[in-house]
Structures are given as C-alpha cells and as structure tokens.
Structure 1
Amino acid sequence: MQVDAAKFSIAGSGTARASGTARDLNVEIAGSGDVDGTRLQAKSAKVEIAGLGSVRAVVDGPAKVDMMGSGDVDLGPRSRCTISKMGTGSVRCGS
C-alpha cells in the first residue's frame, strides 16, 4: 500500500500485516492484537495499546506510544518516541 494514513484498530484479538509506505501510522489495540508492519515504512506513528498487544513497524520520524498493560512495540532505529507506559510492556525506539 502507498497511503497518506494507515490506521489499524483491533478490539478483542486479531492480527494485521501491512507493507508499503504511509505518511502516518495509527495503531489502536484493545485486548490481544498483533500488527506486523515490518515491511511498512512510515514518517510518523501513534500507537495505543490497552491490554496485550504487539506492534512492529519502521518509522522514520516522531512517534507517540501509549501503553497500558503488557505489550511489545518496536518502531525501528530511526524513530523518535514519546512514551507513556503503565505495566510490563516494552518499547523499542531509536538506536
């Protein structure tokens, strides 16, 4: 896909995979979800996880991560993140 905005919303459980480019990436997970965007490149991102979620993407710019629960977020070595976290989750941003 090549889009201005890529949005993924998972409530309950589910899996999404994406590849291509997006100016903005927006991910919302409430419950147990997985977004595999390891082949998706975005200029910015916003990730919200409430519960158990996993998000992987390649972000070349600013990202905001809000996590409540036990999740795993990896936005690649070029991301610059602002992180708000409550729980046992892990967030990997930047080099």
Structure 2
Amino acid sequence: MLDINKSKEILENYFATVTHEQFGRDLEKYCPELIEAESASLESDTSRNIEIYQQAKQDSKLEIAPKLLKKGLSIQEVAEILELDVHLLAQ
C-alpha cells in the first residue's frame, strides 16, 4: 500500500535537492523515451529543461493532493503543505 507521508517526503526531498542538470540526467536514465524524442532540444535548451522540471514537480504535487485530502486534510492544509494555490486544488 502507498504510504502517503513517505511518498511526500521522498518527492519533497528530491525536488528540494535536485538540480536542473541532475533532473535532466534522471529523465534520460528513467524515461529514455522522452529523451529520444527531444534529446538535442533537452541538452541544448536550458529553458526547456526548466519547463519539464517545473511541470514534473507540479504533476507530482497534484498526484499527491487527492490522497492527502482523502486522509482528512483540508484543502487549505494540502495547499500549504504542497505549496499550491488553493484555487488549483478546489477545481
């Protein structure tokens, strides 16, 4: 069974410590199909790396949010913990 607190801790630690460069290397290692399609673009275009990094970070938070809500946390608490806009969670 998924341990929400442990998952949250792992994701928070990863995104708090990973650099854009390491994130790019991790993508290449764990999701090579993404890199094959855009390998030249990802390596030469820093802004694209940052965009992918930010989107992955946002997506991971949005995957955790419903689980925290099911555990009984309020929308405000979840938004604060995950550093998300309350309006985004209320949708």
* Higher fraction of strand: 1
Bigger Cα Rg = 2
Report the TM-score, using the length of structure 1 for normalisation.
0.27
Higher relative contact order (CA 8 A, sep 6+): 2
Q: Under a length normalisation based on structure 2, what TM-score does the superposition of the two structures give?
A: 0.28
Q: Which has the higher helix share?
A: 2
